[in-house]
Amino acid sequence: MRMKRATAVRLNISDVVNAKFIPASNINPQNIIMTPDERVISRVMLLGRIEGNVFFDREAKFAAFTLADDTGEISCRLFRDGIAKAENITKGDLVKVVGKVRYYKREGEDNGEIYVAPEVVRKVDDPLWTQVHNLEVKMCSNSHAHSASNATAKQSTTPRRKSAPTKAPSAAGKHEKKPEEKRQEKDDNQTSGAKEKVLDLIQRLDDGSGVKYITLLNESGLPEEELDNALAELLDEGEIYEPKIGRFRCT
């Protein structure tokens, strides 16, 4: 069964480099990080500037660059065909990166480092997007803190109940969905609808050179984060490809 792609979470770079890395296991099928404020995340969305030169080793099919914001810096590493994502970026560029968290430790060293394996690398022309990104990072963090606080308060004020006899299943055998199952179903439906909309736009608007990202953003009416997740899933599923960075065509 195909594993659902986790939603990318907007973070400051310091949230990632200071997180605890938890490798994939039978319990966690994906590599994840636990941020300092105890959020569990497998895919991240970062915004920063390229520090230094972008490194390419075309023979080994490897590329790497350092992404920095006001809170820190992190290594981004691309492999095989993914190195094409770094072709059109250079030192000083403001870049948005969506990708999975990874961990690397050299043999003989006690400590390793968390890095990002980018799925999306997109140059950002308007520096005002930094303010938008920072605001959304803060909103996400505040929302998590509020939810955690409510959960703690509820746990501490709810009286302990005596165990009740186990009820026999109803004749209908109906399974009442838990809140998290309802949220997941809503997210799945939302992502599916966004993908269909984006795929239809690419099919209709492609003039042979691909459809620009900004065109998809304007024409779809989707929030930027939702569009990015839809594009990332369509790329992963092989439904679309990028002939040039920031342009999309159907396969």
Domain with CATH 2.40.50.140 in the chain: 9-131
How does pLDDT run across 129-186, given as a tens digit for each residue?
999 899 988 888 777 666 655 555 556 555 665 555 555 555 555 555 555 555 445 5
Geometric angle at alpha carbon 125, from 19 and 51, rounded to 5°: 45
Residue range 93-113: mean pLDDT, rounded:
87
Looking at residue 66, its pLDDT comes to 97
Report the top-level CATH class of 185-251: mainly alpha
Comparing 24-28, 37-41, 55-59, 69-73, which segment has the lowest mean pLDDT?
24-28
Contact criterion met (CB below 8 Å) for 198 and 223 = no
How does pLDDT run across 195-217, given as a tens digit for each residue?
899 999 999 999 888 898 889 98
Residue 123 above 60 pLDDT? Answer: yes
Structure tokens of 236?
Answer: 């992963």
How does pLDDT run across 75-87, given as a tens digit for each residue?
999 998 889 999 9
Report the top-level CATH class of 9-131: mainly beta
Contact criterion met (CB below 8 Å) for 120 and 74 = no
Domain with CATH 1.10.10.10 in the chain: 185-251
Comparing 55-69, 154-168, 193-207, 231-245, which segment has the lowest mean pLDDT?
154-168
Percent of the chain with pLDDT over 70: 77
